[in-house]
Structure 1
Amino acid sequence: MSNEATITELLELAIAAEKATEKLYRGLEAKFAHHQEVADFWGKYAAEEAGHVQWLERLRDTSNPKQLSAPADPIKLKDARKVLQFSVENTLKEVKNLEDAYQLVNDLENSETYAILEFLITNFSQEETRSFLRSQLNDHIAKLTTGFPTQFRSAIRRRAVEALE
């Protein structure tokens, strides 16, 4: 038996990363509860992360054992482990204003997590759903710039909105 990490481990790491990201967005929702439109935005992002978790769990549950036991890409595994090294609680403590939150999310959504999901979509989803899933993922990432509340699209305005403790 090989000690090589498998696709199952990669999927489990991706699921854990999406759950952590959902928790982060719920924390941002609470930190900006005094600006309902912003809180709602973070709440919708959190709900989308929950949807990513469901998709990954469905992918895991419907993949055949041979696929799941296949060796995982070591770089993707390393990236997935790296994503999970951050502490949601400590990260939330560092958010002092809306600009901090915005930049945090921008960095997070354009990080290794995206690459891992893209890898899983490309290699393990059904061909007929691949373009739909990719479109959903790209729309999710783009919402930060296209769907963020209009009055807070400027960095100057975001810096003026303090986060609740």
Structure 2
Amino acid sequence: MEDLFGESAASKEAQGSNIASSKMKEAKGQRAYDSFEIAARTLLFWPTFTVLAPEDAASVSSVHALAGPVLSLLEGCEDARSVGKANEALTRIGMGLAANPSATRSEMLLYVHATVAPFLLPQTSEEEDDDEVEEGESSDSDCGAGGSTAARKKAKGSSAGGGASSSAREC
């Protein structure tokens, strides 16, 4: 993590072209991505144990200890370069988990869902209240089994024979 996002990454970026012209092979590249992939390939994949201690998942499951810091850094990050680094790190973790013999499909699906769900439109109670109000306002244009409230009012006001059926055809 330090090699990608910490002080050593900042010093490498500050030195810029000096690293590229360095004679030392180790100074030219970053091995952090390879480290993420190797660690993900060799760890024992048991993410379902987080049910026992969801507040501190990293102490229970090694996959959470590996991906958790990258995800938490990505959560508050707005810099495009850091987002790209985190994306590459998560890609390499995914490649390692795909090659991991202890990762089963069912556990992987549960882990991916639990990891991605907080990032996909988290709703608070205020947002849910706003959604309910918007649904109530838009229900006049919906055609359901019983028709909308506006269609029912039209049907009551029009002739008895064709009022409801004509409102259903309008939708």
TM-score, reference length from structure 1? 0.24
| Structure of higher RCO (CA pairs closer than 8 Å, 6+ residues apart) | 1
TM-score, reference length from structure 2? 0.23
Larger radius of gyration: 2
